[in-house]
Amino acid sequence: MSTTLTSLEGRIKAQAFGFGFDLVGICTLGPAETADAFDRWLDAGFAGAMEYLPRGRDKRRDSRLPAPGTSSAIVVAMSYGGGEPDGPVARYARGDDYHQIVLERLRALHRWLEQDIQQPVLGRAYVDTGPLLERDLARRAGLGWFGKNTNLISPSLGSFFFLGALLIDRDLVADTPFAADRCGTCTRCLDACPTDAFAAPRVLDATRCISYLTIELKGAIPVELREPVGDRLYGCDICQDVCPWNNRFAAPLPDESPYAARPALAAKEARSLACELLAMDEEPFREAFARSPMKRAKLRGLKRNAAVVLGNIGTPDDRPVLERAIEDEEPLVREHAVWALDQIASRQSVGEAHRT
């Protein structure tokens, strides 16, 4: 749709950009077009241990249900720096937790709207935690299309962004849904996945995804998937890194961004960061990762991940930190440290055999 600053929709968009959002669109709430596909995905077991997803499946079928009385959604996207260098921690998790940042700005937009129209507005903001199919809303609001790696891709921004939605009880004029599929015949994201996590284009088996394995999975990482994890300590950007739309449009973070890497992560390569995490106690962890989304995995999960990374890229010099980890109070950490020591010993034996 065409908006002007004199229209309510135009003023909303201008204010959203003023709050730091990079994309904004409007859609009408109603039955979710992707609800059936989501149900099939759940039924196939692709959600793994993410039990919170099936709990809200009924409400996800219709975007009017999570906040009764609402009729329109203001959908926003906020970049988190796809142009930043790759590393062992996914770009989205290097700074402060996006949930709170995007949520606070959506709530500020809600307050501004009430002041602008001089009326109370029933509304509720969602950022990745409610029973909403956010990609569905974003596509309907004209922000982009579903890539073969399942991410929403914007033709002007790529895919390194967070989504949020403010549901309100006003009948706004909706934007034109994004109808085109601009992936074409490209399969770079599917081909690049180290764990073969895509059951089909636009169908992710989360139980094989490195992000799931290093964040959502609370138990042991399956042995057959540990080596493909490589040097990834938390999350994975591979399927986004190879996307031509990101190669063209992803941008570095602006100065003073809340998503800039915190000192505990900045410019650190995987091996040294893994050793630091394995040697870390709870109090230093809480201090170093205050307001970080990485706390979701807890220290035990990060130590598990660190052991896997050292098992994949570590050297005999890393044995002392792994040997100490064998005495960790968490059985999960001990198990993965033993595996890592075995991997290092195996590589050393192969190297010695080649030298003789």
In one-letter notation, the amino acid at residue 197 is: A
- Which candidate, 175, 165, 135, 177, places its Cα nearest to that of 152? 135
Judge whether 62 counts as a catalytic residue: no
Select which of 128, 169, 231, 241 is catalytic. Answer: 128
Q: What is the DSSP letter of 143?
A: S
Element (H, E) at 146: strand 145-146
Q: C-alpha 210: how far from its chain's center?
A: 11
User: Which residues are 125's β-sheet partners?
Assistant: 166
- The token pair that represents 38 in the structure block: 């989501």
**Residue 236 and residue 214: Cα distance in Å, rounded?**
9
Assign 334 to helix, strand or coil.
helix
Q: What is the DSSP letter of 173?
A: P
First-residue to last-residue Cα distance in the chain: 72
Catalytic center residues: 128
